[in-house]
Amino acid sequence: MQNIFLEHQNYLQKLMTERQVSFVLVYSNANNNASLRYLTNFYPLFDDALYIQSSAGEQKMLIKFPWELGRASVVIGKSNVIVSRFFEEGLENILGSYKKEKRIGIIGFNLLTYSLGKYLIEKWKDSLIDLDKDFNMFRLVKSEYELKLVEKAVQITEIALQKSFKIAKQHMTEKEFAAYLEFEIKSQGGDLAFETIAASGENSLEIVSLPTNRRFQFGDTVIVDTGARYEGYCSDITRTMVVGNPSKQLMEVHRILNSILDKIIEKIKPGMVAKDIHQIAQELYTQEGLGEVKSRIGHGIGLDTSLEPLDLQYDDIILKPGMTFCIEPGYYNDPPGGIRIEDDVVVTGTGCELISHISRELVII
């Protein structure tokens, strides 16, 4: 387990040499910490953290609160962890004596707090190098070990979904259903990749709707979008339920979305541009009379889900073997109600393969 982080740190060391950087600062906070986790397996539960790696391989970690000290010490050694309420002071103690011509790489540049960003610009203005793009490209291609963790997260999610579908019933609330599903994820040793969506009735017409006290009613469609996190790596799967017998229109739209998902997967090849996938989806929607794709057709999965650095609607990134992401065609009109199907895939040497395999059939409760 530890070797994977050493491999990632070694890559960062190589990147530092290529970009002639003396230090790299990796900033993260409780809501966006995938890059730090990728390098160290540490992530702040509260506030923020700053990891520092030198060209000589030295490591330091700045954290805000002493109760994070034990977790940080496990991954980097207690002597290398500094509790500092103000990171500017901690950085000054570490880097203050170095000459300003030393180049400093930043990962998490757009996450920096105002005060930390101000300090870095005033102190090292002409020496700061944004390494986010280079680092994210490395993160996007999963090793065999990382892919196994994604596959395990998918497996946990699929088992949790299967068990949850069996207990779903009319008059159950969205929160009750989501709570049971999340229990099934955690009972298998997983964590939540994100808060489960169990959007019923009018809530299913929203692309994202967090669980409410609304009860499942006869005729509702229910969009169930969930994912497990296993040893940091995530899955993201969506299936649709219907309360009572589905209408012919609902069954037809669901069939079309299922077909669109298959056709998109068939067209994905290494070497194509990521955003072309969204264009393919739009062409298929138009052909089938579904109108506009109302949300991006997919995004990366790995140490994160929707924040993972791959957007299939806008990114010019060239797809490479080992990249993992989800494809999620949806339809949000009443009638027949909101419908979405989402699967996780990996780019191979010749095309694209499914990671998730749970049945896509409309779940009737």
- List the beta bridge partners of residue 116: none
Q: 216: helix, coil or strand?
A: coil
> Strand 128-130 vs strand 48-54: parallel, antiparallel, or unpaired?
unpaired
Phi, psi of 121 (to 5 degrees): -70, -45
Q: Does the pTM exceed 0.85?
A: yes
32-74 pLDDT, tens digit per residue, is: 999 999 999 999 998 999 999 999 899 999 999 999 999 999 9
pLDDT digits over 339-364, tens only? 999 999 999 999 999 999 999 999 99
The domains found in the chain, sorted by start residue, are 2-139 (3.40.350.10), 144-364 (3.90.230.10)
Residue matched to tokens 């610009």: 121
List C-alpha distances in Å: 273 to 286, 312, 317, 323, 327. 21, 9, 6, 12, 15
CA–CA distance, 134 with 128 (Å, rounded to integer): 15
What is the per-residue pLDDT for 95? Answer: 84
